[in-house]
Chains A and B, each alone.
Chain A
């Protein structure tokens, strides 16, 4: 196995009595796109700034390509840094901005020129070299900031919420664009965001954080489909979570007994090794809960009847809130010919293989 590009070895950061990041270890393989995902204030920026060399870890070691960098000042770390607010130099033209980092590297004038031009065409803005940052839109400024960061061929690219200041449409375009550039260059990238759809769309690995701790690390599908705990389940998309107990555990299937649905046989690989009789939680994604007309064939799905209490139309999909007894279920379904209306009775169905099970205390 090749050496990870970046290794965090039990790094922690305290500000006085407050711990912003608890001891955390993480290996980031070369060429990977890794996202630190979590709510605001969970310590993402703090972690990124420690890797960048803008903050000293209170404890632990940071290694880049196997070498300890704790004592290396930021300007010797050879990192590309992109900020939420672009942070372009307002008194320099676009070209001068992009060329800035090359001044500190032994690069001839001609080569600098060529590399700046290459970087500008890579971000698809080859014509804007002579403009000043204030003459550019937000999206263009962020592309220039990206060009400025990658032109120095950094060991690692660090991005702190780079898309958060852009408006929604542009954000989606930039997402695709950023991923394309990262793929093309094969550059190790650490991306910070609080936006789960960004994380799911772009990452090779997602690191879900909460209150200064890592909750789960894994590829997007894994983090999404088999959340390690209730926090991850709730943070990545809307989830329905039911308390219950393991009724029967075999090698293949862990059957959970939950009050509303009865016994739900969850595949063992989604059940975290739960054993017989343990308290457990059943996790069902809102989009895996399907509404159907009562009396139609359930096709092997577990179902329960309820009354649609509220409908939130969101274009192609609708978010339904369905009352069954004490619980309010959340279902996100494609809108077909006959969407459900408020007050209608619906049969709420789930396929056991779409569910995940968590230990009762997580």
Chain B
């Protein structure tokens, strides 16, 4: 007889299998020596990774994704830190409105955001371009940065900055000597978040990218439309390693940075 608990356990396992089995299959098949990107496995091989390396379109897509992700991370983090400082440290009119507007992109479905921005650009008769794609990515990564940085900033007591100023540091010096170092783990985490989210994104990118520009996700999407090449499995594996590995690495670094200051 099955007790309630074992039912729940079995169900949980099923759910996890449903979520992670496809991922596992992709990773497994990326090492398949066979011509076809499907079972049965005929041997272990790195050939699809090598082919990836020689595929110009994919390399180009990687370059675009990296540049886009890095720029998104830098811009989003800079804006996010400045916005958080303003929202936490100063009082001004319309503060709540701005705070909500900054976080809103998380709450709005990405498709809606994507279409809205596209229509807006259309309305202004601005052609699609890489900077506009970048702007789109900044808009929807900003909330993550703002949330992470704000959470840390409320934990940095104002009297620490005041102590620095009483000792002779100008407000700027106090910021760079005290606030910024204490904020570093959050800034770092926010950057990684922004990079990973941008690197991973397909919905917004499909709407906003100019013709001829492909990021890794849109490249995969395009390749899938023609055929299911085993290369896609290899590419998928690379993406998984990057998007799972980076945040883990980031968390580890942030923990090290944070342990010295808490």
Contact = CB atoms under 8 A, between A and B. Distances in A.
Interface in A17-74: 52, 54, 73-74
Contact of A152 (B159, B167, B173): B167
A73 B178 CA distance: 18
A90 interface: yes
B115 interface: no
B153 interface: no
Contacts of A152: 167-168
Given A90-B182, A90-B261, A91-B260, A104 B160 contact: no
A87 B157 contact: yes
A100 B182 contact: no
Interface in B133-164: 157, 159-160, 162-164
B167 A101 contact: yes
Contacts of A90: 160, 182, 261-262
Contacts of B167: 75, 100-101, 104, 148-149, 152
Contact of B159 (A76, A85, A101): A85
Nearest to A105: B168
B166 A80 contact: yes
Contact of A74 (B165, B181, B261, B262): B165
B159 A91 contact: no
Given A87-B157, A91-B261, A104 B162 contact: no
Interface in A88-104: 88-91, 100-101, 103-104
Interface in A257-305: none
Nearest to A76: B168
A46 B22 CA distance: 63
Contact of B164 (A78, A79, A89): A89
Given A87-B157, A90-B261, A91-B260, A100 B164 contact: yes
Given A89-B178, A90-B261, A91-B261, A104 B166 contact: no
A83 interface: yes
Interface residues of B, number: 22
A54 B165 CA distance: 9
Contact of A81 (B162, B171, B173): B162
B93 to A, nearest CB: 14
B162 A85 contact: no
Interface in A172-191: none
Contacts, number: 71
A175 B174 CA distance: 30
B168 A75 contact: yes
Contacts of B171: 75
B260 A132 contact: yes
Contacts of B262: 90, 134
Contact of A87 (B163, B177, B181): B163
Interface string A130-169: 0010100000000001001100100000000000000000
Q: How many interface residues does chain A have, given as a range? A: 20 to 34
A52 B166 contact: yes
Contacts of B181: 91
Nearest to B159: A87
A352 B165 CA distance: 53
A48 B160 CA distance: 17
Interface string B160-195: 101111111111011001100110000000000000
Contacts of B260: 91, 132
A352 to B, nearest CB: 49
Interface string B250-262: 0000000000111
A132 B261 CA distance: 9
Contacts of B178: 89, 91
Contact of A104 (B157, B168, B182, B261): B168
Interface in B230-262: 260-262
The residue in B159, B168, B171, B178 that gathers the most chain A C-beta atoms within 10 A of its C-beta is: B168
Nearest to B163: A87
A280 B159 CA distance: 46
Contacts of A101: 167-168
Interface in B89-144: none
A80 B169 CA distance: 13
B166 A79 contact: yes
Nearest to B260: A91
Contacts of A145: 163
Contact of B166 (A81, A89, A105): A81
B197 to A, nearest CB: 29
A81 B167 CA distance: 8
Given A85-B157, A134-B262, A91 B182 contact: yes
Contacts of A104: 167-169, 173
A6 to B, nearest CB: 15
A90 B169 CA distance: 17
A222 B164 CA distance: 38
Contacts of B157: 85, 87
Nearest to B181: A91
Given A132-B260, A134-B262, A89 B160 contact: yes
A101 B178 CA distance: 13
A89 B167 CA distance: 12
Given A74-B166, A89-B160, A91-B260, 9 more contacts: A73-B170, A75-B166, A75-B171, A83-B162, A87-B163, A91-B182, A100-B167, A148-B167, A149-B166
25 contacts: A52-B166, A74-B166, A75-B165, A75-B168, A75-B170, A75-B173, A75-B174, A78-B168, A81-B163, A81-B166, A87-B163, A88-B163, A89-B164, A90-B261, A91-B182, A91-B260, A91-B261, A100-B169, A101-B168, A103-B168, A104-B169, A132-B260, A134-B262, A145-B163, A152-B168
Which 4 interchain pairs have the tightest Cβ spacing?
Answer: A104-B168, A101-B167, A81-B166, A87-B159
